[in-house]
Amino acid sequence: MRGVIARLGPAWRTIAAHGAGAPQVLNWLGQCQTAAALFAGDIKMRGSVSVQLRAPSTVGTLFGECTDAGTVRAIARTVPGATLPARLDAVGGDALLAITIERPGGLRYQGLVPLEGERLEQAFEGYFERSEQLPTAIRLAATDTVCAGMLLQQVPDEGGHGDRAPSADFERLGFLFRTVTDEELLTLAPETVLRRLFVEDDVRLQPGRRLAFACSCSRERVERVLLSLGEPEARAALDAAGAMAVRCEFCGQGYAFDRSMLDRLFHPPAAAPGADRRSDGPAGA
């Protein structure tokens, strides 16, 4: 068996402070963020893992991401006036739950998770069991100040063959795993949680990694978004004084643009004559 345990305190409080939402929204967003951290820790590959729940009629969009560098960020775009259902399987027929892995070089893999079960953790368990054929147990918990989770997975037989059905060991450990309470997950040190759950088993805890809030936004990325919107739409966003401020939804960073900046963005000045001529001498370098 292998497992991952994650807990976010200060990083989660930073995220929660950016997008103040109803307690239930924060609870679900914290679970999405924790799930992204667990899956990133599970696959241990370069790139990022994100979890997105989109339900236009009830929730809006919840998005949590964790990168291989240990940075996390999350965002909730809620539907004004909509009521969040208590159960995952009641979020609506238009809902979508996805796990996306983005690798360096733009490679992208997305798995769609059927919206089954009362809680997100049940939907993820079902996904890993069916799509990845890996018996998996998941627990997720979140408040507005801390979020935490744990994942237990049956390691495929060496060589990749063999029965992928849950082993007797997985059944036993999975049963113990599911006895962990939200409070234990949210408040106890990982060592303590594992020692309490698996008293009779040999649990080896590998060195952990610090997770911190960080945003990957930049002026260049905002410019790319404006370019993809197209010139008429970008210009339409200018106010009467010919200015606009684009605000990053993840971190609150503002990026200001005015008419002349859009001119240069959509109509970059032609390179000066000879600017692209190559030269061996330092003068042309």
Type and span of the H or E element at 149: strand 147-153
Residue from the set 15, 66, 91, 215 that interacts with Zn ion by CB under 5 A? 215
Residue 74 lies near Zn ion (rule: CB under 5 A):
no
Cβ proximity to Zn ion: between 75 and 194 the closer is 75
Q: How far is the CB of 195 from Zn ion (least distance, A)?
A: 39
Closest distance of CB 212 from Zn ion, Å = 14
Strand partners, 54: 61, 96
Question: How far apart are the two ends of the chain, measured CA to CA in Å?
Answer: 56
Q: Which stretch binds Zn ion (CB under 5 A): 27-35, 148-156, 205-213, 241-249?
A: 241-249
**Range in contact with Zn ion (rule: CB under 5 A) among 12-20, 78-86, 205-213, 216-224:** 216-224
Give Cα 281 distance to the centre of its chain: 48
Q: How many residues bind Zn ion (CB under 5 A)?
A: 6
Q: Which is nearer to Zn ion, 14 or 187 (CB)?
A: 14
Contact 37, 149 (CB under 8 A): yes
Whether the Cβ atoms of residue 30 and residue 13 lie closer than 8 Å to each other: no
The residue (of 63 and 250) whose beta carbon lies closer to Zn ion is 250
**For residues 74 and 248, which CB has a smaller minimum distance to Zn ion in the complex?**
248
| From 50-58, 164-172, 210-218, 255-263, span contacting Zn ion (CB under 5 A) | 210-218
Does residue 151 touch Zn ion according to CB under 5 A? no
CB distance 64 to 29 below 8 Å: yes
Q: Which of 102, 154, 148, 146 is nearest to 125 (CA)?
A: 154
Least distance to Zn ion, CB of residue 142, Å: 22
Closest approach of Cβ 218 to Zn ion, in Å?
Answer: 8
Scanning residues 97 to 126, which ones bind Zn ion (CB under 5 A)?
Answer: none
Cβ proximity to Zn ion, 197 vs 222, nearer residue: 222
Cβ partners under 8 Å of residue 284, min gap 6? 277, 278
- Which residue type, as a one-letter code, is found at position 226? L
Interacting residue with Zn ion among 49, 66, 84, 248 (CB under 5 A): 248
CB neighbour list of residue 150: distance below 8 Å, 6 or more residues apart: 3, 4, 5, 6, 38, 138, 139, 177, 180, 185, 193
Q: Say if CB 115 and CB 140 are below 8 A apart.
A: no
Q: Which of 39, 127, 250, 257 binds Zn ion (CB under 5 A)?
A: 250
- Rounded to the nearest 5°, which phi and psi values hold at 63? -140, 130
Residue 147 phi, psi dihedral angles, 5° rounding: -135, 150
> Which C-beta is closer to Zn ion: that of 230 or that of 254?
254
251 touches Zn ion (CB under 5 A):
yes
Binder of Zn ion out of 217, 226, 234, 246 (CB under 5 A): 217
Residues that bind Zn ion (CB under 5 A): 215, 217, 248, 250-251, 253
